[in-house]
Amino acid sequence: MLKVAVIGLNHIGLLHCRVYTDHPDVELVAVCDLRAELARSAAVRFGARAYDNVLSMLAEEEIDIISVATGGLENGSHHMEPAMQAIEAGKSVLVEKPISNRLQEARMMVDAAAARGVRLASNLNHRFVPAAKRAKEWIQNGEIGHLLYINMKLTIGNPNESTPWIHLRALHPHSFDVLRYFGGDVARVQSFMTKAPGRTVWSTASINIEFASGAVGHLTGSYDMHGGHPIERCEAGGTGGKFVLDNVYESLTLYPSSSDEQRVVKNSIFASPSGFDSTFYNRIGAFIQEVKNNVPPNEISASGADALAVQRIIEAAILSQTENGAPVRISDIQDQ
């Protein structure tokens, strides 16, 4: 039985706790939040020991896996300190997204994990759905032929006005991770962004993408789409056909060029747990399995290095916006 701890116990940390508690192969032994009352109530709810200090927890508990579900500026500035402490203690670490809102910090975590030889992963959960796995198999099996384009949309309603780039840095680790999952590394981006009336942040963005493979792509992103409508759509096309992945996990359709028949994969409504929480169950479950299987740190899925790669793309998109939409090479982005 692997022993687990969760750091940061507000909205998302509590969901991590629930996922670990429901998992048959792990035991949630400790929970930690700077706000002691949050730690106490999570400890009671999940039957774990409470801490308000990461180093005390690391000193007193035997732990294999640590989730870091802290937040901070642009939802990522508080991750580094507890993540580094967990890495230095030799744990397998799963950090929420963005791995950090600052590239330099993301790079330090990735380097520290590599130097210490520990697994560092990020909760890039949107790719951890059966439909995305199937779509990736279709690409690998040649079902859509030579990949030509991937068009992605991720739009939610979020009134956060904290910094000009909150929408890019906090939301689009997911989008660029899905784009990289299907299309590989990104070579160049070019952005145009706008602000919804009354907003001070770049709340809607249109970003062109050139993959290293030569394929092209696009991301439409927004913090201005309120209401319960589908949030995400991804269409990938090639010389042999195209697929459309709807709303993260809901449905996947293959449109082969050679036939009028479509192939449709639906996420079963009987699947449990269902809905968006299932992405957390799948993603955290995959990390647990990789730790159980002793997968080497450089082979784990949605790794810290992947999370760093998406933050680089985001910084390139931000730079493009500040340079009147000029194309920016990812290789020109410095991790500082």
71 binds ligand NAD (CB under 6 A): yes
76 binds ligand NAD (CB under 6 A): yes
Nearest to ligand NAD of 311, 320 (CB atom): 311
Q: Which is nearer to ligand NAD, 175 or 320 (CB)?
A: 175
69 lines the binding site for ligand NAD (CB under 6 A) = yes
7 binds ligand NAD (CB under 6 A): yes
125 binds ligand NAD (CB under 6 A): yes
Shortest Cβ distance from residue 63 to ligand NAD (Å)?
A: 14
Q: Is the peptide bond before 24 cis (omega within 30 degrees of 0)?
A: no
Eight-state DSSP code of residue 109: H
82 binds ligand NAD (CB under 6 A): yes
Helix and strand element counts for the chain (H, E): 10, 15
> Between 125 and 204, whose beta carbon lies closer to ligand NAD?
125
Contact of 253 with 244, CB cutoff 8 Å: yes
Q: E strands within the chain?
A: 2-7, 26-32, 49-51, 65-68, 92-95, 120-122, 147-155, 186-194, 204-211, 216-222, 232-238, 241-246, 251-256, 263-266, 328-329
Distance CA 113, CA 301 (A): 15
Q: Residues 167 to 196: which contact ligand NAD by CB under 6 A?
A: 170
Q: In angstroms, what is the minimal distance from the CB of 282 to ligand NAD?
A: 12
Which residues, in sequence order, are bridge partners of residue 233? 153, 246
Q: Which of 67, 70, 204, 303 binds ligand NAD (CB under 6 A)?
A: 70
Cis link prior to 273 (omega < 30° from 0)? yes
For residue 246, the minimal CB distance to ligand NAD (Å) is 18
- Work out which of 29, 38, 314, 317 binds ligand NAD, going by CB under 6 A: 38
Query: Does 236 help bind ligand NAD (rule: CB under 6 A)?
Result: no
Span interacting with ligand NAD, options 59-67, 78-86, 109-117, 328-336, rule CB under 6 A: 78-86
Nearest to 334 by CA among 311, 303, 306: 311
**8-37: which residues touch ligand NAD (CB under 6 A)?**
8-13, 32-35
Helix (H, G, I), strand (E, B) or coil at 298: helix
Does 81 interact with ligand NAD (rule: CB under 6 A)? yes
Instruction: Report if residue 226 touches ligand NAD, rule: CB under 6 A.
Output: no
Tokens for 37, please give them: 């009352």
* C-alpha to C-alpha distance for 66 and 3, rounded to whole angstroms: 9
Rule CB under 6 A: say whether 97 interacts with ligand NAD. Answer: yes
Residue with tokens 């789409």: 225
CB of 267 to ligand NAD, least distance (A): 17
Each residue 301-330 as x (binds ligand NAD by CB under 6 A) or -, in order, gives ------------------------------
Pick from 155, 152, 172, 175: which is nearest to 229 by CA? 155
Q: H helices of 119-219, where?
A: 130-140, 166, 173-183
DSSP string, 224-286: B--SSS--EEEEEEETTEEEEEETTTTEEEEEETT-S--EEEE--TT-SS-STHHHHHHHHHH
Instruction: Choose between 66 and 215: whose C-beta lies nearer to ligand NAD.
Output: 66
Tell me whether residue 75 or residue 151 sits nearer to ligand NAD (CB atom): 75
The residue of the chain with the least Cβ separation from ligand NAD equals 71
Instruction: Name the site residues for ligand NAD (rule: CB under 6 A).
Output: 7-13, 32-35, 38, 54, 69-71, 75-76, 78, 81-82, 96-97, 123, 125, 170
